[in-house]
Structure 1
Amino acid sequence: MSPRALSERLRAMTEARVMLGRAGGGMPTRAVLDFALDHARAREAVWSEMDLPALRAALAGYPLAEVVSAAGDRETHVRRPDLGRQLAAGTRLALPPSDLVIVVADGLSAMAVDAHAAQVVHALQALRETAAPVVLARQARVALGDQIAARAGARAVVVLIGERPGLSAADSLGAYVTWAPEPGLPDSRRNCLSNIRSGGLDPQEAAHRIAALLAQMAREGTSGVGLKREPPLPGQSARALPGGAER
């Protein structure tokens, strides 16, 4: 296989920067420009805000609430992760009784939330008999979902959050699923599905995996490292698990 054919084959297999070539002692101009563009997209993802009007419209069919963390603004959120894990002082949260709360949080990529969160919510709600309340959380980190769910008295929480952008993808959404959420839980009590996006984990498949995780957590009464089994692989439905959530 020629070097050019090999480089094209490798580039077709991954979004990582491989076989870039060189121009003298440096990289080719195209590689330098591509890097600069991806770096700019990553910065934009971190500093952008969620499109709340669009999300409200997309999720209008479900019980909906909005909160902001103690970070208050974007700069504080980026610099003070601890404040992003706490609700702002005086937050009032009125949600209907439910075993599950879905939190849509900006995290470190509002771009990912705008692009993929509503799709995951719709697909997950379709697997339930009753709609779970949805909370839009600004300047939020993952653990903010524990406080929200604890206040709502929910048995489980799903936090859909923008992941830290890389130079291959700035719009990657993560899903953190926790059973019996309460403030102060360690990360070892959570299960994470990552890279939900075009070119990664499909939102529909992510919803089925989340539903399978929730069914497993209900059976075993725990989440995180304490779970005994893994969720289904891509292509498997929640029906493959005894007592699966899909109906």
Structure 2
Amino acid sequence: PARARARDPWTHLAAHTPARIALGRAGPGLPTREVLGFALSHAQARDAVHTPFAADEVAQKIEALGLAALAVESAAPDRATYLRRPDLGRRLSDRARAVLAELKPAPCDLALVVADGLSSAAVHAHAAPLIAALLPRLEGLSVGPVAIARQGRVALGDEIGEALGARLVAVLIGERPGLSAPDSLGVYLTFAPRVGLTDAARNCISNIRGEGLGYDEAAFKLAWLIAEARRLGLTGVALKDESDLARLPPAGATLLPKR
């Protein structure tokens, strides 16, 4: 047994990661359990992409937090088109554009957009709890109506934020499913949103889920980035996430437990 462990140093590492390592072998192939596990993960990833977005349920959860919710959709008319035409997912439909134009909201410090993206399962599970963890950290900021966007890509937030007169927009969106994370939520923060920006103008917080970044930690990072974006007047490659430094003990403080 000791010699076997020495020959396979990966085995003990498998307990610390969902990545597919130390799978073993059965002859020239993989063990049956690993083949079946891979097939299950692949099916879960496909389901995450194609599961219909329960926008009304998400809106109800957000309204229960005391925020107004607004239904919009991208220019992609259906899921099949959305997957084939990413460009349509970055633009509002004519109807949604008209709705926002008629709304004429007061300018706000922050607009929130909740979009299905490539994993509606992630949005169903994590969007409302993340917003609930974030709101207490936004004291003193005005938050516009939350746009619940069907068939949305990240850049859809630029047009929505511009229409809402928001100084910042945060897009909560289902990330592309992986074979170990079909329900991962991402957040993209953009200062002075407007049509035509690229991803270089955004800051991203990813892997928000039970097995990844928790709601409180993600909310802390997002609130820190919002504060820094307002102070510096920018987001993106020029804004480095140094939120972890804000949680370090002050210089000279002891890390030893008190007796």
Fold in common (TM above 0.5): yes
Residues 16-39 of structure 1 show CA distances to partners (whole Å, capped at 9, x for unaligned) of 000101111110000000000000
Distance in 2 (alpha carbons) for counterparts of 1:71 and 1:195: 26
What stretches of structure 1 of length at least 5 have no aligned partner? 241-247
Judge conservation of contact 2:126–2:209 (CA < 8 Å) in 1. Answer: yes
* Secondary structure of the corresponding residue to residue 116 of structure 1: helix
Q: Which residue number corresponds to residue 47 of structure 1?
A: 50
Judge conservation of contact 1:41–1:170 (CA < 8 Å) in 2. Answer: yes
1:216 and 2:249 aligned: no
Which is further off, 5-14 or 194-203? Answer: 5-14
Give the CA deviation at 1:234: 9.0
* Secondary structure of the corresponding residue to residue 150 of structure 1: helix
1:34 and 2:44 aligned: no
Distance in 2 (alpha carbons) for counterparts of 1:52 and 1:90: 17
Q: For the pair shown, which has the larger CA radius of gyration, 1 or 2?
A: 2
Aligned match of 1:179 in 180, 191, 213? 191
Distance in 1 (alpha carbons) for counterparts of 2:184 and 2:10: 26
Q: Which residue number corresponds to residue 67 of structure 2?
A: 62
Q: Which residue number corresponds to residue 243 of structure 1?
A: none
Aligned residues: 238
Aligned match of 1:236 in 247, 253, 256? 247
Distance in 1 (alpha carbons) for counterparts of 2:22 and 2:11: 8
Judge conservation of contact 1:125–1:131 (CA < 8 Å) in 2. Answer: no
Q: Which residue number corresponds to residue 90 of structure 2?
A: 85
* Secondary structure of the corresponding residue to residue 191 of structure 1: strand
What residue identity is the alignment partner of 2:165?
A: G
Distance in 1 (alpha carbons) for counterparts of 2:18 and 2:31: 18
Q: Which residue number corresponds to residue 108 of structure 1?
A: 118
Q: Which residue number corresponds to residue 20 of structure 1?
A: 23
What stretches of structure 2 of length at least 5 have no aligned partner? 251-259
- RMSD (Å), alpha carbons: 2.0
Judge conservation of contact 1:205–1:234 (CA < 8 Å) in 2. Answer: no
Distance in 2 (alpha carbons) for counterparts of 1:161 and 1:234: 26
Distance in 2 (alpha carbons) for counterparts of 1:43 and 1:148: 28
Q: Which residue number corresponds to residue 12 of structure 2?
A: 9
Matches within 5 A, 1:126-141: 126-129=136-139, 132=143, 133-141=145-153
**Change over 3 Å in CA distance of 1:200–1:150 after alignment to 2:** same
What residue identity is the alignment partner of 2:154?
A: V
Distance in 2 (alpha carbons) for counterparts of 1:64 and 1:231: 31
* Secondary structure of the corresponding residue to residue 170 of structure 2: strand
Judge conservation of contact 1:104–1:134 (CA < 8 Å) in 2. Answer: yes
Identity of aligned residues (%): 51
